[in-house]
Structure 1
Amino acid sequence: MKEQSLKLGIETFLDEGYYKKYLNQNLALLTNQSACLKNLTPSYFALREALGERLKFLFSPQHGFFAEKQANMVASNDEVEPFFGLRVVSLYGPRLKPEPKHLQGIDVVFVDLPDVGCRVYTYIWTMFLVMSACEELGIKVLVFDRPNPIGSQVEGPLLEKEYYSFVGLDSLPLRHGLTIGEIALLFKKRHFPRLELEVIPCRNYKKSQLWLDLSLPWINPSPNLPDFYSALCYPGLVLLEGTNLSEGRGTTKPFTTFGAPYLKIEKLYPKLKELFPEKDWGVVFRPLAFEPTFDKWKGKRCYGFEIHVTKPLKFRPVEFGLRLLKLIKMEYSEFEFLPPPYEFEMEKKPIEILVGSKELLEWLMKKDSLDFDLDLSYTLKRYQLEISTLSLYEE
């Protein structure tokens, strides 16, 4: 018997006739251009065709509706998209949460957004704030689910309240292991009990699957995630945003490349191979030099490495990123943690809100040892027990 192919939440909604319930309602959609059907039709095209002028306007997250803006407080303006003349209301900039005037007359807000499985990726927090606004006004939220491209593995500390920011408004681990629909269910359970929420699941999907297993085209969800491997490395390499190490922005290989002018790659290379043996980590390092065209070290020659993940199921990006930072901090006096601001946080250092755990920050900042001797299992077990009750899919 032939295995049935994956069907995205938006495709389930359209193909199985769910959309007919909404033909007489006023609708808004939180999305960007990277949310597409499997045939690469933009979701909002398909919804407009099915629902006509019931789709009144669009909300856009960080990076803008066309996902062209760079990161870290590069605001997007309200605009009008060119195909249907739909108004686009930006939710990244001076405004992070919809105002009541934006939702006046709206019955349901649809959400169709790609996520990459990491707490720091801000699209889920825009959804969080949309859910908050909708609960306050008695408006339904309907989420079209999509696969988590890096699977169901969970890694990293649970975010502690003192480190809440726009890269974490709720206690999730860095690698959260959920689909965006499951995250919406978790947010409702924890914070929005009065919200009317519906999640349209994917069909023929197992949540342990990686993007490589799904035969789906990769569409950049934001400018600096050009492929699956950049997304897989992201939960660890994003920590470099809080340092003076380049995470590869301004190159063609962001989040799989790292470096700085001060690295001595001929000395660092054997230490990386010793710390991250391929048989245990599923990763190989290729030494290189690169020159970022923008962002950190723009126009300067950086020495570093490209990360080649050879065994995606073995690779643990969060622990990898933490150990990598600790090694370079111990080896190079030129290494620095950057000051704020970062993602609208004006007081705490970026590394603090990225890591989000006091104990782990103390290990990173103070302890002169590469031994990763922190036991995160208790908090993660609690989290995994909680999310198991919300799972929409088999492993």
Structure 2
Amino acid sequence: MTIRTGCEQFLADGTYRRFGQRVGLICNPTTVDSQLRHLALTLRNLPDVELVRLFAPEHGIWGTEQDMIAVNESIDPIIGIPVTSLYGTTEDSLRPPIETLVDLDCIIFDIQDIGSRYYTFIYTMMLCMEVAALVGTHFVVLDRPNPIGGAVEGNLVQPELSSFVGMHPIATRHGMTPGELARMFAAERHMDLELTVIPLKNWSRMSTYRDTGLPWVLPSPNMPTPETALVYPGQCLLEGTNVSEGRGTTRPFELFGAPWIEPVILAEELAKQQLPGVMFRPLYIQPTFHKFRGQRCGGLQIHVHQPALFQPLRTSITLLSTLYRLWPADLQWRTEVYEFVGDRLAIDLLFGDGRIRRAIEDGQEPNDIMDMMEADRLSFIERRAEFLLYPEIST
């Protein structure tokens, strides 16, 4: 059966007319239909819609800014209307000014998420929902697939470690779509919000993105393929370390390395762990930008050969534990400001719980660390059930 996104459902049979004339759009390069037509261009050309302004998340409307680079306010060069930045130089810039929503009949969110708690677009959606609730603007989510399916891994963020890579207590790999998360956010944050989710048609929670037949558009500059999305719930943890997560290479997050890693030794140690669905290839990388620019780094490529069995978080926790055991004097936690936070370690923000970092430092076995998260994982599965729009799978 053909899968139709919320975007296509929204445009079908004049459904869009239900939501008023003056419209704002939170969008990026993924805001396209199955024929790669951008929704902003489509709305601009509809006679009974006035597209008033665009809202730019991290990386910008057209995905040009790298990670943690501010997006400037502007007039969009293609659409020709104002762009409000939702990712500036301060934490306050993450929330849209009230005056940018008060003159709208509705504001639409249509961005491809990748199924990981760290990926910031879902919090852009959440913060915009909160402002929309304050001013009484209808909020519409055009739903898209979770590209890594419905499986759940990981723990919940502790309140003291809330940040833009974890602003709501959801699992690391949450297994939900943007529309389902919007329903959860609205209910659990007690928003007095007129919310409409336009659901997907014919999508299965067991599907991979490749199964959908939909074209993959990079949601951010370092997310080139659905396979990148699959390893990201684990490999994003490297952002909290002095190991390159592969930015500046052709396969970020699948490739990683550091000058002090001996790739064959690391590959052999990880092979002993018999991690499901994955193999590791020793190699060297030389990033063209970001960490270790121009330097030769030993590392690995992650080859996922059985996506249904692969557990990205377990894999990367095992990787970090192995790196810490083999090279304890070399592996370091990032201490620089990370996503506007400078008083807590980036790795703790990503884990959402400082106990996990300390368990790695104490040499606890990866399986024991995963067991620490199991109660959170099960409670989240129970919590999310009432917000799901598509059939549940065995977890």
* TM-score w.r.t. length of structure 2: 0.95
What is the alpha-carbon distance in structure 1 between the residues aligned to residue 160 and residue 317 of structure 2?
20
- Describe the SS at the equivalent of 2:72: coil
1:4-43 → structure 2 map (5 Å cutoff): 4-22=1-19, 24-43=20-39
How well do the aligned residues superpose, as a CA RMSD in angstroms?
1.4
Contact 2:29–2:63 (Cα < 8 Å) also in 1: yes
Q: Deviations over 1:194-240 (max 9, x none)?
A: 11100000101112211021111111100001001110000000000
Contact 1:122–1:167 (Cα < 8 Å) also in 2: yes
1:189-338 → structure 2 map (5 Å cutoff): 189-275=187-273, 277=274, 280-332=275-327, 333-338=329-334
Contact 1:340–1:348 (Cα < 8 Å) also in 2: no
What is the alpha-carbon distance in structure 2 between the residues aligned to residue 387 and residue 123 of structure 1?
19
* Counterpart residue identity of residue 71, structure 1: D
What is the alpha-carbon distance in structure 2 between the residues aligned to residue 367 and residue 274 of structure 1?
17
- Describe the SS at the equivalent of 1:16: helix
Q: Which residue of 1 aligns with 2:384?
A: 387
Q: Deviations over 1:7-49 (max 9, x none)?
A: 1001011113211223x53110111122210111112122223
Q: Deviations over 1:319-373 (max 9, x none)?
A: 1111101110111021111103001111101001000123323212323544435
**Runs in 1 of length 4+ with deviation above 6 angstroms?**
none
* Counterpart residue identity of residue 162, structure 1: E
**How far off its partner does 1:127 sit?**
0.6
What is the alpha-carbon distance in structure 2 between the residues aligned to residue 251 and residue 376 of structure 1?
32
- Describe the SS at the equivalent of 1:155: coil
* Counterpart residue identity of residue 88, structure 1: V
Contact 1:242–1:349 (Cα < 8 Å) also in 2: yes
* Counterpart residue identity of residue 144, structure 2: R
**How far off its partner does 1:193 sit?**
3.1
**How far off its partner does 1:379 sit?**
2.1
What is the alpha-carbon distance in structure 2 between the residues aligned to residue 123 and residue 29 of structure 1?
14
- Describe the SS at the equivalent of 1:174: coil
- The alignment covers a number of residue pairs equal to 387
**How far off its partner does 1:87 sit?**
1.1
Unpaired runs of 5+ in structure 1?
none
What is the alpha-carbon distance in structure 2 between the residues aligned to residue 166 and residue 377 of structure 1?
24
Q: Deviations over 1:279-312 (max 9, x none)?
A: x511111111110011111110001111110000
Q: Which residue of 2 aligns with 1:91?
A: 86
* Counterpart residue identity of residue 329, structure 1: Y
Which shows bigger deviation, 10-19 or 244-253? Answer: 10-19
**How far off its partner does 1:390 sit?**
1.1
Q: Which residue of 1 aligns with 2:341?
A: 345
What is the alpha-carbon distance in structure 2 between the residues aligned to residue 204 and residue 160 of structure 1?
35
Residues 27 and 299 (structure 1 numbering): CA distance in 2 closer, same or farther, change over 3 Å? same
Q: Which residue of 2 aligns with 1:164?
A: 162
Q: Deviations over 1:104-140 (max 9, x none)?
A: 3112111101100001000001111101111111111
In percent, how many aligned pairs have the same letter?
Answer: 37
